[in-house]
Amino acid sequence: MNLEAVEQTCLAYLKQTERPMVPVSRLMRRLQQDEDCAGISESDLLGFLRRHELFKVIDTNGLPLGIDDMAALAEAGIETGPQVMLVTRIPSPAQLAEQMAVQLQALTEALSRALAEAKETGRSDEARELIKMLSRAEEIQKELKDLPLE
């Protein structure tokens, strides 16, 4: 195993991925395809990435998720192990706020459609819950706008 080859392969892969944050398990699969990198273990890779100034490792294992939450994420195709990204691809606070605003808008639109459908079909309990969710989403949007992003 050649650590320089590991570094170069990781840099090249993480620069070209659509999403900046990549599961370490996916990066491992990429490294295993390269003869110069194939000997590295996942624990060695994690140690290397954590010590390297160009990479940021995010451990999702520290999130307060229960077994049911983890199973739901896995079922949805969301990997819950450690993730890695290039430091240069970490979004600024303003970029992050913008991305969150876009996602909140999409969520609000989906909740509004669900509320309209619940009202049309007479599902009043569901409509009440959706109204609460919409209210919370609007609160979050207001909080997001008030964040100091400089």
CATH number at residue 67: 1.10.10
Indicate the DSSP class of residue 87: G
Count, residues in the chain = 150
- Note the pTM of the prediction, 2 decimals: 0.60
Angle at 48 between CA 44 and CA 50, to 5 degrees: 115
Sequence-ordered list of residues with C-beta below 8 angstroms from that of 57, at least 6 positions apart, any chain: 24, 46, 49, 50, 82, 83, 84
- How far, in Å, CA of 126 to CA of 119, rounded? 9
pLDDT in tens, 56-115: 998 865 544 555 555 555 555 556 689 999 999 988 888 878 878 888 888 889 889 999
Angle between helices 93-120 and 124-145 (to 10 degrees): 160
- How far, in Å, CA of 76 to CA of 62, rounded? 20
For position 84, what pLDDT does the model report?
A: 93
> pLDDT grade, residue 24 (50/70/90)?
very high
Summarize the confidence of residues 40-69 as an average pLDDT. 80
Q: Is residue 37 domain-shared with residue 60, that is, in the same domain?
A: yes
Cβ-based neighbour number of residue 144 at 10 Å: 15
Which residue range(s) make up the domain with 61? Answer: 3-89
- How far, in Å, CA of 148 to CA of 138, rounded? 18
Number of domains forming the structure of the chain: 2
Least confident of 5-14, 44-53, 103-112: 103-112
Q: Is residue 73 domain-shared with residue 117, that is, in the same domain?
A: no
Out of 44, 69, 89, a domain closes at 89
- Considering only CA atoms, which of 82, 46, 84, 90 is closest in space to residue 63? 82
Q: Residue 119 has which token pair? A: 């009202």
Out of 66, 89, 112, a domain closes at 89
For position 51, what pLDDT does the model report?
A: 96
Q: Is residue 84 domain-shared with residue 98, that is, in the same domain?
A: no
For position 146, what pLDDT does the model report?
A: 81
Mean pLDDT, the chain, as a whole number? 85
Q: Is residue 76 domain-shared with residue 129, that is, in the same domain?
A: no
